[in-house]
Amino acid sequence: MESLLAHIARKERHRLRVVQVDVDERSDVAKRLGVDVAPTLVLVRGKRPIARIEGRASAPLIEAMLDEHLAAGAAAVV
């Protein structure tokens, strides 16, 4: 999933920022975002999670989530 997210980060670099968080090292961030399963993709806007995908995800699924939520403004994917 890392290469897929790297591709999305390059493709959408003007609309979002992709950040990878090691949940073992940053359990505080995982707890704040409600991450219980790895991998989990969390779309964050204004420090609040607005969408998530748990488990492995395909490019079309991730892009559909981004298109739905990014039309209204910038976000970060964690």
pLDDT of residue 74: 52
The 10s digit of each residue's pLDDT in 10-59 is: 988 888 899 999 999 999 999 999 999 989 999 998 889 999 999 999 98
Sign of the CA dihedral running 26, 31, 35, 36 = positive
Q: Would you kindly state where each structural domain of the chain is located, as residue ranges?
A: 2-77
Exposure of 73 in the CB half-sphere (CA atoms within 13 A): 4
Helix H, strand E, coil C: the string for the chain is CHHHHHHHHHHCCCCEEECCCCCCCCHHHHHHHCCCCCCEEEEEECCEEEEEEECCCCHHHHHHHHHHHHCCCCEEEC
Options 3.30.950.10, 3.40.50.10470, 3.40.30.10, 3.90.1280.10; CATH of 2-77: 3.40.30.10
pLDDT value of residue 76: 58
What span, in angstroms and rounded, lies between the C-alpha atoms of 45 and 29? 15
